[in-house]
Amino acid sequence: MSVAKATTVRAKSRGRDSKVTLSKYSFRVKYLRKSREILRRFNETKPWLDQLYTTFLGLRPGMTMVDVGCGTGDFTRRLATLSKGRSEVIGIDSNADGIAAAVADTNHNRLSKMISYRVGDAYKIPLDDEYADLTCCRSLLIHLTDPLKAVKEMVRVTKNHGSVAALESGRMSVFFDPNDESYSELFDQVQDALFDGIRKLEGKHIRIGDRLPGIFQAAGLTGIKAEIQADGWLYTDPRRRLADLRQQLRFDLSMLEARSKIDRKYLIAGGMTDARINAYNRQTMAKTKMLLSDDKKLRNDPSLYAASLFLVSGTKIA
């Protein structure tokens, strides 16, 4: 399962949906809470990620941090926890509902002494110049039509010699079902067409990862560095609990239904035919339901989905 995994089923009508974007759908509190819970459980099988984030972002106690486009605050809380106390983290998001959920979840996790939230725009961050030691974002720039403008704002609110960082999805991804090569090819086509369609219709790069060093350089940052977080999603993986796999599949199925109309317009713009989209929807639905109906088949399914997150940072030297 991927945060940006392509999902479609048969569309009933097209007109009304032209205004709904995949981005807007992904900003909903219900979507964010559920997808981040699944991601968090998956990440628990990868304890080395804590070390990657801590060393790459230079996390330490006493830091001032800003998480731009924080959504429901999942990454904001991780930053606070990894900096090991007495740090100050501010989450910023333009969606007031997301901020309200972030505040509630942060209180629930007893982290509100370290974390506060503000409603605000990534293009006009409501903070003074040189406010933070580290300004970062996760899965924000993929949704923006002008990511450079947002990164320049992140640079503005960062202290001299401080860091700006982004964790965003990249082009390295693959799906392969050894028992169904033609479905594997179709899956790849759907992914490519979805992201191509979004770029054509909305000017956003959902696989922005490889562009980040160039954007950071254009924003005036120096000492730019990059790591790639590669994730392999596999049902046979004994590190993953059966309950988590089933939760992921149920979520995928609900996404198939909920995003069908939205995804179809991108897929058509990305060059797919209705017939191919219908074939993909049918096969995905059938496979997901089959896996959900039989735990033994689920645990023995060797389909591999792999995806990448690009972690890029740069230093501000005024």
Ligand X SMILES: C[S@@+](CC[C@H](N)C(=O)[O-])C[C@H]1O[C@@H](n2cnc3c(N)ncnc32)[C@H](O)[C@@H]1O
Positions in the binding site for ligand X (CB under 6 A): 26-27, 32, 36, 69-71, 74-75, 93-95, 98, 121-123, 138-140, 143
Minimal distance, residue 33 CB to ligand X, in Å:
9
Q: Which is nearer to ligand X, 6 or 140 (CB)?
A: 140
Q: Got the DSSP string for the chain?
A: --TT-------S-SGGGGG--HHHHHT-HHHHHHHHHHHHHHHTT-THHHHHHHHHHT--TT-EEEEET-TTSHHHHHHHHHTTSS-EEEEEES-HHHHHHHHHHHHHTT-TTTEEEEE-BTTB-SS-TT-EEEEEEES-GGG-S-HHHHHHHHHHTEEEEEEEEEEEE-S--EEE-TT-HHHHHHHHHHHHHHHHHHHHHH---TT-GGGHHHHHHHTT-EEEEEEEEEEEEETT-TTS-HHHHHHHHHHHHHHHHHTHHHHHHHHHHTT--HHHHHHHHHHHHHHHHHHHH-HHHHHT---EEEEEEEEEEEE---
Q: Which is nearer to ligand X, 87 or 303 (CB)?
A: 87
Closest residue to ligand X, based on beta-carbon distance: 71
Q: Which is nearer to ligand X, 95 or 284 (CB)?
A: 95
Q: Which is nearer to ligand X, 259 or 287 (CB)?
A: 259
Q: Which is nearer to ligand X, 74 or 301 (CB)?
A: 74
Q: Which is nearer to ligand X, 35 or 260 (CB)?
A: 35
Minimal distance, residue 19 CB to ligand X, in Å:
16
Minimal distance, residue 222 CB to ligand X, in Å:
25
